[in-house]
């Protein structure tokens, strides 16, 4: 495990973007596992700046996102497809055909989970998986549970997650109660995992993830077992370590 301490969110975003940029430059046909959320939002802006400066070429990149809300389609401003289009896909030369997110409007959610898992199986392993961290230690939408869910699955979001994500919706009742998420297997099979964590509100979760017991009650704690984990966190997020 490598921990890189950033001064603040801005520096974290630059460091995270540099790591992804290295991957894209060294392996132009990389499979990137991508994440949503505020922790990684500015990182995407930094990547776009590099692209605009002629430093990066996304034309051969394939992406597989972690998760999507059940019930929202890609035109909904809070869907993760919308987020990705707005943050990255519409701003660089990635082929949209090569970008994958679960379909939140799939008729049969279980079939959609199986289909999504077969995309992950097809690539064998993601080259670099970007992750944020939930306040309850979740990664993707793998919520605290009795066991680690291995494959892509549908999940009932916890009250804590619904509350945390309600800041993006007009009303807490508008927050979807379910999501589809990549499981722990897809994340752990990635060759490199890049975990970005910002802010004092994540400090306790980050401490548990990095130094606590490996337990499905803190899903991110499984990352202690990953052979190539890079944590980029700011001073506030690292304040309890
Ligand atoms: C969300 C997403 C996660 C994200 C996490 C943290 O619910 N499903 O993929 O990493 O919660 O989000 P944020 O960075 O906005 O705090």
Q: Probe ligand 1: pick from 80, 83, 132, max atoms within 8 Å of CB?
A: 132
138 a catalytic residue? yes
Q: How many Cα atoms occupy the beta-carbon half-sphere of 190 within 13 Å? A: 31
pTM: 0.97
Q: Is the CB of 134 under 6 A from ligand 1?
A: yes
pLDDT number for residue 171: 92
Ligand 1: residue whose CA is nearest its atom 3: 140
Determine the Cα–Cα distance for residues 37 and 4; give it in Å rounded to an integer. 20
From the CA of 141, how far away is ligand 1's center (Å)? 8
Q: How confident is the model at residue 124 (pLDDT cuts 50, 70, 90)?
A: confident
Q: Give the model confidence (pLDDT) of 181-233 as tens digits.
A: 999 999 999 999 999 999 999 999 999 999 999 999 999 999 999 999 999 99
**Is-catalytic flag, 67?**
yes
Half-sphere exposure of 227 (CA within 13 A, CB side): 4
């Amino acid at each position: 495990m490598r921990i890189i301490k950033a001064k603040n969110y801005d520096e974290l975003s630059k460091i995270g973007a540099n790591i992804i940029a290295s991957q894209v430059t060294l392996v132009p046909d990389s499979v990137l596992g991508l994440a949503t959320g505020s922790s990684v939002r500015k990182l995407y802006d930094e990547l776009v700046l590099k692209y605009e400066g002629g430093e990066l070429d996304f034309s051969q990149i394939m992406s597989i996102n972690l998760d999507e809300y059940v019930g929202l389609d890609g035109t909904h401003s809070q869907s993760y497809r919308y987020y990705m289009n707005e943050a990255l896909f519409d701003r660089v030369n990635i082929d949209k055909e090569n970008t994958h997110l679960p379909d939140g409007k799939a008729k049969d959610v279980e079939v959609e989970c199986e289909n999504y898992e077969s995309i992950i199986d097809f690539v064998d392993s993601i080259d670099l998986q970007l992750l944020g961290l939930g306040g309850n230690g979740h990664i993707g939408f793998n919520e605290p549970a009795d066991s680690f869910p291995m494959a892509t699955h549908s999940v009932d979001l916890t009250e804590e997650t619904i509350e945390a994500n309600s800041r993006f919706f007009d009303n807490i009742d508008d927050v979807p109660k379910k999501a589809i998420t990549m499981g722990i297997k897809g994340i752990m099979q990635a060759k490199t995992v890049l975990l970005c964590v910002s802010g004092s509100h994540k400090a306790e979760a980050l401490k548990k993830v990095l130094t606590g017991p490996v337990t499905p009650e803190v899903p991110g704690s499984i990352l202690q077992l990953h052979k190539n984990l890079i944590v980029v966190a700011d001073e506030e997020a690292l304040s309890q370590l």
